[in-house]
Structure 1
Amino acid sequence: MLRALWAVVKRELIIFIRYPTWVVAIFIWPVLFPLPYIFGGKALAGPNQVGMVTFSRLTGMSDYVGFVAIGSLLWMWMNMVLWSFGNHLRNEQVRGTLESNWLSPLPRIFLLAGAGISNCLIQSAVIFISLLEFYLFLGVKIQGNPLLILLVLLFIIPSIYGIGLLFASLVIWAKEVNTMVFLVRGIMMIFCGVSFPLTVMPEWMQVVSKWIPITYGIRAFRLAYLTKKGFEAIKGDLLILGIFGLIFFILGILAFALSERFVKRKGTLGVY
């Protein structure tokens, strides 16, 4: 089974590097994406940047550029997982390989597990490149402990890929995931404080944000990366991320089992 799992991982990595524009994009988007929010924030801060005083008071951080860059990085990570890993089985349908792979003598969840591992490897490279470019082009420096930053990333993974697993499972019978991806990433952009402090939102929006796992991931990563507050400042966020990750993984596995049963009963696995 491990050989089959590795075969899926290897195949996805080969497909990725076969399209050079995909590789080039991971060097371009990390710098381009946060720029509108960075320049917009500086413009709204006024000619003397007096608005930055209010920003520092609300967030406890002085690096606005780093604040936006970190938020945009995690949003891009979630977005790319939803599109690639979340749409993996649909891509198999389009290629015409889903039915033959489905008949292979291994747990079908391995088809998603291999895609998840390959996507995680690619996204690890994206994160490293992004943080390097933030330093080189935006002047964002690490203020905290690198090991603590790595710990936060490890706690974010279950939540992000749990949501991706749920999406990938549902697309078996839904046949189309675009609308849901647009909806979810839009909600995260607005409610998770990607480019602004959560405290400026109305109270009801702050309540909604507490039910979205990436909110805690963004906050914990910012604290670990841009401040020296240490583990005590983020342990609560890590605990909540762990709980959300477990919940979404269970929901994703259940959704996959239900979707598998649905396509067996209806005979719609190969229906385009």
Structure 2
Amino acid sequence: MSNPRSGRLGSAAADLRAFGAAGMKEWRLLRRYPSLMFGFLFWPIVLPVAYVLQARGYAGDSTAALDAFAARTGTSQVAGFLFLGWAAYMWISMILWGPGTALRTEQVRGSLEALFMTPVSRLVILFGPLVSQVAWAVWMFAIVGTVLVVFFGVAIAPLEALRALGVIVVAVPALYGLGALFAAVVLRFGEVHALVQGVRGVFTVFCGMSFPIVLLPGWAHAVALALPPTYLIGDLRSVLLGSSALVGVLPDLAILLGLGAAISVLAVIAFLRTERYARRGGSLASY
């Protein structure tokens, strides 16, 4: 007579191996196209530089302008403020264009139906492509931090870097849950580019990537507080530029974890409903 407990443990171990295999597959795809790696290094640096130069051009040598900026943001580091905001933007873009479109990509390749026939948990299919992106996120923020220290004179101590890493780890469930939810929605409607641009536009407007959210009107500020990137960007700026301890941003981190749990549950529900819809309509194997 078989032991049900050993069967569950064996199934869990198999799913963990499947998660590892999914992450390795995505990693090999990234290695197959080196230009993608170049983009991960190029855009997080070049994109915010334009905003830094623009800010310096508008402010000139005005001390009053810098004081007003510091009063609204809590820091006088204009470059650090902008670089961290756009690094978060690049991370979100990586999630939306990568794991966020992974299921649709499998459908276009004609391999989605075969993927659904494998004896693995649906969680592996939904969240597996996200595994390899964690290392890229840490690498990208490390590059941004190095640029800030070397070229802009922003002082980042090892302890502050560890605090920032803690914020990134806490943000992983929320942002990757968002990517999984996006993947399910894209699979349902089959449209990629418009959805990616729309979501990125919403985050750019409301989450304070290039400006403090205190400038937003009341209703927009409320929207910003409901979006996970707002807390990621704000907490990274607090621990790296404002020398805040993790205890100081603990309420934000708790909200971020709560949003991550809620979004992940929504992603699973949306994925299961999309799967049922696709099976009834026979669209798993169609373009």
Report the equivalent of 2:8.
none
- For residues 123 and 147 of structure 1, what CA distance do their matches in structure 2 show? 14
Say which SS state the counterpart of residue 86 (structure 1) adopts.
helix
3-state SS in 2 of match to 1:140: coil
The more displaced of 202-211 and 59-68 is 202-211
Confirm whether residue 261 of structure 1 aligns to residue 279 of structure 2. no
| Preserved contact between residue 110 and residue 286 of structure 2 (Cα < 8 Å) | no
User: Is 2:95–2:176's contact at 8 Å kept on the other side of the alignment?
Assistant: yes
How far the C-alpha of 1:141 sits from its partner, in A, is 2.8
Q: 2:258 aligns with which of 243, 246, 254?
A: 243
Which letter maps to 1:20?
A: P
CA distance in 2: counterparts of 1:132 and 1:50, whole angstroms: 29
RMSD: 1.6
Are the equivalent residues in 2 in contact too, given 1:191–1:208 (CA < 8 A)? yes
Provide structure 2 residue ranges, at least 5 long, that are not aligned to the other structure.
1-13
1:34 partner SS: helix
The TM-score normalised by the length of structure 1 is: 0.94
Deviation of residue 258 (structure 1)? 0.7
How many aligned positions are there?
A: 272
Query: How far, CA to CA, are the matches of 1:261 and 1:138 in structure 2?
Result: 52
1:103-161, Cα deviation, whole Å (9 max, x unpaired): 11212331232211012222222222222233223333315633322211111111100
Which residue does 1:64 correspond to in 2?
78
1:191 aligns with 2:217: no
1:225 is matched with: 240
In structure 1, give the amino acid aligned to 2:64. V
Supply the distance in 2 between the matched residues of 1:133 and 1:47 (Cα, whole angstroms): 23
Pair member with larger Rg: 2
Deviation at 1:47, TM superposition (A): 4.1
- Larger deviation, residues 144-153 vs 63-72: 144-153
**What corresponds to 1:10 in structure 2?**
24
How far 1:38 moved relative to its partner? 1.0
1:181 to 196, 199, 216: 196
Hey, what's the Cα distance between the residues in 1 that align with 2:217 and 2:23?
44
Using the alignment, how far apart are the partners of 1:233 and 1:108 within structure 2?
38
2:87–2:140 CA contact under 8 A, matched in 1: no
**Which stretches in structure 1 are left out of the alignment for 5+ residues?**
none
Look up the match of 1:93.
107
> Normalised by the size of structure 2, how large is the TM-score?
0.89
Distance 2:58 2:215 in 1: 14
Counterpart contact for 1:167–1:177, Cα < 8 Å: no
